[in-house]
Amino acid sequence: MTSSRPLQGLERPVDWVGYGSVTLLFAAARLLYAYLGVHFDVTTFPQFMQFIDQKLLSTRLLESLWYYHANPPLLNLFTGVGIKLFGPHAGAFFAVCFHALGLGLAWCVYFLTARLSGSKLTAIITSALLVFSPSFVLYENWFMYSFPTAVLLTLAAALLHRYVRSGATRWAVAFFAVLATLLLLRSFYHLVWLLAVALLLVAAQWQRRKQILIAAAVPILAVVLWSGKNLYLFGEFSSSSWFGLGLSNITTQMVTREELRPLVERGELSQFALVSRYKQPWRLFAGDVPPTGIPVLDEPLKSSGREFNFNHRQIIPVDRIYTADGLKVIRHFPASYVLGLVMSNRLFFSPTSMNLYFPVENRRAAVPMESIYNPVLYGVSAQSGMMRSPDFGLTSNAVLEVNPSLMLFVIWWLVLAYGYVQARKAFVKREEDDRPRAIVIGFIVFSMLYVYGIGTAFELAENFRYRFDVEPISFVLTAAAVTHLLRVVLKRFARLRAARRSAATADQQ
């Protein structure tokens, strides 16, 4: 029976050489990409739909955040604080923060790889591959929630290792606090996922169940309170009011208007089943509803007069309709949905650097490194292809960039299979030395499967961007698997050579 008390003597001295090496590699990569022409892109704000209007963030920050239902609040809170503190220089502040996150992510990858592979050399090689990768640099220089999401997931895995190895409550609290921060940053990560992580950790560390539940209570409560606020104000227990808008891409948009129209005429689908939110966005904001007096809910357009305010009060009922229509379309047209799944998988297993929303000059600057990385890591060229984009069928001229990698697909599932076998040791074996590694690998596997499932089943557009969330931890798991395999092969060769030497000695005698 294992003890529930913190293990003593397990804290290791700081590996200054390793972290220093990673820091130098990170700096060298930044200098290289700066020379190639990559720069920090802050043009996503305020034009992207994920951002509250700049004027409101400057003058009515707290009110706008309180009445914000479109997404969790932290991206806009961070943006608003930057604007208030630094005004016209906020872009420089955002750039410094993102580069600091990049260095922190590199350190976390080094820490995790060293612990899970047992090799500092493997950890340095993995960190070098990561910090020089085009995807890492392009997302680090793109002002959106994608890069901080990857940082938080990787940091959570590192904190989980510290907790399971030491048993100290502070590491458990830090682990769940980071996960709660992730949920309050990105609606992709649902409360159900957080609860599942907590319950699986309890199952793997049953002797520490009380400690785990206490550590998880406040972070989970924070997420519940935010969703509860939305339930009280808007009738939706959720951190986002956009689920239906995304679902329509892989459901309603996959079917032609000619096939949908009879269902609309019979009342089985709403009129919104024939409305494209891309080509007819103004239709989402129509309606004679009395104003609330709260600009972030009332104004259909941002102050620029060009971008729509997707936190408008009309989005909530419209999104419900889109969700209902999307689920009905799956039942009526299952073959179209299956085709959508095939397309979303092709995008998911494309290089994550393939993002049309990156600045053209950044994409162009990264091409020399993509020409090296894509063939080596993915087995594809740096030149992407195109496929038809859903636009009420696949007959329009709309296209999506795609570069599917069969090699990536195979490696992804082989690594997950390896991770599953290793993670089972947390439940079927009781050796204390194996448990931190097994539990952290289990968290990585669970997160990768969650991102794959949610990222391909309910959206079709930027599925490769969702995979970037877990790309750093998938690097870690792949490195651990390859190192393990090499050790097994080398041990077998050593045994074979020893057996041959013994046989030769016996013959001489």
DSSP string over 320-346: HHHHHHHHHHHHH-HHHHHHHHHHHHH
Question: For the chain, what is the mean pLDDT?
Answer: 94
386 secondary structure, DSSP code: E
366-369, long-range: CB < 8 A, 24+ apart: 366/33, 366/36, 366/38, 366/134, 366/137, 366/138, 368/36, 369/33, 369/36, 369/132, 369/133, 369/134, 369/137
Is 435 within 8 Å of 164 (Cβ atoms)? yes
Question: Is 70 exceeded by the pLDDT of residue 429?
Answer: no
For the chain, give every domain's residue range. 243-399
Is 103 within 8 Å of 26 (Cβ atoms)? yes
What distance in Å separates the CA atoms of residue 283 and residue 260, rounded to the nearest whole number?
18
Question: Is 80 exceeded by the pLDDT of residue 29?
Answer: yes
Is 358 within 8 Å of 138 (Cβ atoms)? yes
Residue 509: predicted pLDDT:
64
Residue 507: predicted pLDDT:
67
pLDDT in tens, 375-417: 999 999 999 999 999 999 998 788 999 999 999 999 999 999 9
Query: Does the CA dihedral 497-502-506-508 come out positive or negative?
Result: positive
Question: Is 50 exceeded by the pLDDT of residue 2?
Answer: no
Question: Is 80 exceeded by the pLDDT of residue 203?
Answer: yes
What distance in Å separates the CA atoms of residue 443 and residue 414, rounded to the nearest whole number?
17
% of residues, the chain, pLDDT over 70: 96
Alpha carbon distances (Å) from 288 to 17, 235, 244, 291, 339: 65, 20, 22, 9, 38
Q: Going by C-beta distance under 8 Å and a sequence separation of 6 or more, which residues neighbour residue 276?
A: 253, 391, 392
Averaged over 110-121, what is the pLDDT? Answer: 97
What distance in Å separates the CA atoms of residue 419 and residue 446, rounded to the nearest whole number?
10
394-397, long-range: CB < 8 A, 24+ apart: 394/254, 395/256
| Predicted model pTM | 0.94
Helix axes 334-348, 315-332, angle to 10 degrees: 110
Question: Is 80 exceeded by the pLDDT of residue 503?
Answer: no
Question: Is 70 exceeded by the pLDDT of residue 430?
Answer: no
Hey, which bits of 322-434 come out as E strands? Answer: 385-388, 399-402
